[in-house]
Amino acid sequence: MRKPRATPVEALPMLPPLPGWITAAPAETLAAAAFRSGAALAHLGLATAAGDVPMALLRDRLALSAAEVCAGIAGRREGARGLRDALHLTKAGDDPGPAGRVLWQWSQAAARPISVAHLARALAGVAPERIALCLDAAGPTPVDRAALVLEAVLTETPRAETAALILADAVLAKSLGGTYLLPLLSLALKARDLRLRGDDLRLACHRAVFAGAGQALPMAGDLARAAARLRAVVPKLRAKAAMRAVDLFLSRDALAPAALAREMPDNLSDRAARRFCERLVELGVLRELTGRDTFRLFGV
């Protein structure tokens, strides 16, 4: 009996987009916006539950997007490329600067399971007791709980926008039964939204969650296909522990060759790591993210 032919990597289906009945639903009232954000969250959860999406990479890529929003709220205009440079091209132990610290906070918060201790490390200066109160927030819906946390933190410390948004997204994820923070709420809130209070803020948060889910879905689909293509080339790679290196790229938004070598000191030198990254670019499964010939960063 002839064996069935393997499905080509390129034939992987896209994740289903938000259905039209969700996107077309009105959001003028708080109840309507809550319905729409809840439907979007449910759809996102189902669409990413199949296992094809590299969730660690999705979290880190969304953390970059959230950090870009936070940098903009703070009046900075580095953009994604500048944020990556500030974090990844700073020597260990050196200060990555304001922009780099924002990205570091988001990446750290999304990298490990939600807990008071972990968030306290990512949010230096925020008391663990304050974080614990935030994580125990109560409200009728997960988005309402996140909005309550956002309002409480910003009322107490108006300039702590990044910490407030990280805690709000952590509460949202925890309320949805998630183990890890998945940046969603923070992707679409504007500086003017953070000055709102009460039902006005809740409405803005429901709208932002809907928009954030709309951003996360196509990104998750792109990363699922990219991950399949990357895993498919492993047999062609001569480097020892190639799968380990591939797994690192499937969990990080960006890596410098030197950082890849540090993660795998028994398998890759700096030079070998650079050649490995270049080979993956030649195979069309990795991107060089800076457009430079030196001080380069690579990612899926």
What are the residue ranges spanned by the domains of the chain? 50-217, 233-299
pLDDT at 275: 93
pLDDT at 230: 95
Q: What pLDDT, in 10s, does the model give residues 243-291? A: 999 999 999 999 999 999 999 888 889 999 999 999 999 999 999 999 9
User: Residue 3 pLDDT more than 90?
Assistant: no
Choose which CATH entry (1.10.3470, 1.10.10, 1.10.20, 3.90.320) describes domain 233-299: 1.10.10
pLDDT at 167: 98
Interacting residues of 220 by C-beta distance below 8 A, sequence separation 6+? 15, 44, 47, 48, 53, 58
pLDDT at 196: 97
pLDDT at 14: 66
Q: What does the alpha-carbon distance between residue 40 and residue 20 come to, in Å, rounded to a whole number? A: 11
User: Residue 238 pLDDT more than 80?
Assistant: no
pLDDT at 127: 95
User: Residue 105 pLDDT more than 70?
Assistant: yes
Q: What does the alpha-carbon distance between residue 51 and residue 57 come to, in Å, rounded to a whole number? A: 13
pLDDT at 2: 45
User: Residue 5 pLDDT more than 50?
Assistant: no
Helix ranges (DSSP H) in the chain: 20-23, 30-47, 55-73, 79-88, 97-111, 116-122, 128-135, 142-156, 161-175, 198-232, 242-249, 257-263, 270-282
pLDDT at 12: 57
User: Residue 298 pLDDT more than 70?
Assistant: yes
Q: Report the share of the chain in percent with pLDDT over 70.
A: 95
Q: What is the DSSP string of 198-225?
A: HHHHHHHHHHHHHHHHHHHHHHHHHHHH
Q: Mean pLDDT across the chain, nearest whole number?
A: 91
Q: What does the alpha-carbon distance between residue 126 and residue 154 come to, in Å, rounded to a whole number? A: 12
pLDDT at 80: 92
pLDDT at 153: 97
pLDDT at 18: 86
Residues 62 and 106 sit within 8 Å (Cβ to Cβ): no
Q: What pLDDT, in 10s, does the model give residues 23-51? A: 887 778 999 999 999 999 999 999 998 77
Q: What does the alpha-carbon distance between residue 165 and residue 222 come to, in Å, rounded to a whole number? A: 26
Predicted model pTM: 0.92
Q: What pLDDT, in 10s, does the model give residues 106-160? A: 999 999 999 999 999 999 889 999 999 999 999 999 999 999 999 999 999 999 9
Q: What is the DSSP string of 81-113?
A: HHHHHHHHTSPTTS--HHHHHHHHHHHHHHHS-
User: Residue 8 pLDDT more than 60?
Assistant: no
State both tokens at 260: 């890849």
User: Residue 13 pLDDT more than 60?
Assistant: no
- DSSP state at residue 299: E
Q: Report the share of the chain in percent with pLDDT over 90.
A: 78
Mean pLDDT over residues 178-195, rounded?
A: 97
Higher local confidence (pLDDT), 113 or 236: 113
Q: What does the alpha-carbon distance between residue 142 and residue 126 come to, in Å, rounded to a whole number? A: 22
pLDDT at 224: 94
State both tokens at 280: 């993956």
User: Residue 95 pLDDT more than 90?
Assistant: no
Q: What does the alpha-carbon distance between residue 199 and residue 67 come to, in Å, rounded to a whole number? A: 26
User: Residue 4 pLDDT more than 90?
Assistant: no
